[in-house]
Amino acid sequence: MQKILVARPIFPDVIDRLKHYFDVEWNNGDALPADELTRRLADKDGALTAGDPVGAATLAAAPRLRVVANMAVGYNNFDMAAFNAANVLGTNTPDVLNETTADFGWALMMATARRITESEHFLRAGKWEKWAHDAFLGPDVYGSTLGIVGMGRIGQAIARRAKGFNMRIVYHNRSRVAPEIEAELNAEYRTKEALLREADHVVLVLPYTPENHHTIGAAELALMKPTATLTNIARGGIVDDAALAEALRARRIAAAGLDVFEGEPNVHPALLTVPNVVLTPHIASASEATRRAMANLAADNLIAALGEGPRAGRPPNPINPDVLGKARS
């Protein structure tokens, strides 16, 4: 029986599914340190991960490893050049979290604009003594201009929600979406710089790549309106968190909502000291139904890639399909 490692705690019923096909080693505790993950993969044929870094050294130490199934859409934790060189398949879990993540992104943007976290902290601290006409004023969402950076599936889902708020939608993407999608969403393409100058609310939903590192830094923040908000539900590293903390402290933008961070689970200390930021611990996809769908899709990918189950040899979501059918090198 082939051996696999499930590197993170996931739903026990998904583990039971995997046990039908494999000899399963399950880490049901904290995330494994890099050296321990490498050690445990040494005799495995496959693995299910959730953001755990897998690079050339780990692959070299695991000569039997043929597939690593990531329980996430993003896969910047994988060194894909090393995967391709070793003919190891990587898979991910797109689509099943689009609507849930868009819901959360919308909620985070609303909370940011309307200063919900800041005002709750004020209330809990016992500081609310009277109504005031100028207490916690924030920018409107309805009828404003929404800038979406990254117009993939989740970006488009956010744009659909914006139509109900009578928002003007501008977007930036690596390439323009099809004209029919622009027409359906009533979305107008902009350069990144033009979008930042124009938008009242900027939402980031682009994938992390080395080219996208610090897509939003000090120079970009300086282009934004002082009344604008920034929401990041994409990946840590897309925003320069230190530069953002300084911009928030200086009120160069009104507020930010962040679900992802550079070096998470660590958060830049300066972000913890400014009041005009809403911080959440990478939970945009965290509905039970969606997280179960992600876990089961990761399992489907792993089962099929290792030649088991009804889709044997045809995993639903290969990242590097060119390695399918090739011998491990």
154-193 residue pLDDT tens = 999 999 999 999 999 999 999 999 999 999 999 999 999 9
For residues 46 and 48, give the distance between their C-alpha atoms in angstroms, rounded to a whole number.
7
239 forms bridges with which residues in the sheet?
216
Q: What top-level class would CATH report for the domain 3-96+288-323?
A: alpha beta
Catalytic, out of 161, 249, 282, 328? 282
CATH 3.40.50.720 maps onto the chain at 3-96+288-323, 98-279
The mean pLDDT value for 267-275 works out to 97
Phi/psi at 148 (5° precision) = -110, 120
Tell me the chain's radius of gyration from C-alpha atoms: 22
Residue 329 pLDDT exceeds 90: no
Smallest CA-to-CA distance from 191 within 166, 227, 223, 161 is with 223
Tokens matching residue 309: 């189950």
The burial class, CB within 10 Å (0-12 / 13-18 / 19+), for 218 is: middle
User: Which pLDDT belongs to residue 198?
Assistant: 98
3-state secondary structure of 295: helix
3-state secondary structure of 26: strand
pLDDT digits (tens, 9 = 90+) for 1-20: 999 999 999 999 999 999 99
Active site residue 282: yes
Q: Which CATH number applies to 98-279: 3.40.50.1470, 3.40.50.720, 3.40.630.30, 3.40.50.300?
A: 3.40.50.720
Catalytic, out of 99, 184, 246, 264? 264
Active site residue 211: no
Question: What secondary structure letter does DSSP report for 184?
Answer: H
User: Which pLDDT belongs to residue 11?
Assistant: 98
Catalytic, out of 17, 66, 190, 235? 235
User: Which pLDDT belongs to residue 15?
Assistant: 98
In 199-302, which ranges are E strands?
A: 201-204, 229-232, 255-258, 277-279
In 195-319, which ranges are E strands?
A: 201-204, 229-232, 255-258, 277-279
The mean pLDDT value for 193-220 works out to 97
Active site residue 328: no
pLDDT digits (tens, 9 = 90+) for 82-111: 999 999 999 999 999 999 999 999 999 999
